Structure 1
Amino acid sequence: MQFDSWQAFINMGGYGFYVWLAFGVSFLALALVVVQGLQARRKLQQEFVKEQQRQQRLARRKREVT
């Protein structure tokens, strides 16, 4: 589809509101997925570090007892 001006492109033959709303909702959903993934990754990394520290403490205590 070819448009004569930027205004015609943004208006999209009268359907511009729905088209741009769909784009906006899609980008918002993708951004939320990325943010949620980054938060989950950070939480998993923190839990991994805590578990490693716990394992080190247990190994240290085991060596001290024996």
Structure 2
Amino acid sequence: MSGSLQSFFAMGGYAAYVWPAYGVFFTVLLIDWLAPQFRRRRLLRDLRGRMARQNARNERTGRKSTAST
């Protein structure tokens, strides 16, 4: 059993190429999965900041806000 497991991890002598390729693949897959979540969070934060600045500007000028919060 351990001999076949060792040969599996050795990948017929190509382990130095195969395992890093798996590592790169799963790293890219993870980044591809997380990037939209971080982008959404950043966009929502920027939008909240814009809305707060707009509301502050409207309060200074005496206009009513058109956005409902």
TM-score (norm 2): 0.61
Write the distance in 1 (CA, Å) between the matches of 2:35 and 2:27: 12
Could you tell me the percent identity over the aligned residues? 33
2:11 pairs with 1:12: yes
* Aligned twin of 1:55: 54
How far the C-alpha of 1:35 sits from its partner, in A, is 4.1
* Aligned twin of 2:32: 33
Structure 1 unpaired stretches of 5+: none
* Aligned twin of 2:42: 43
Letter in 2 for 1:38: Q
Structure 2 unpaired stretches of 5+: 65-69
Deviations 1:24-63 (A, max 9, x none): 1111222333443333222101111112223323443314
How many residue pairs align between the two structures? 60
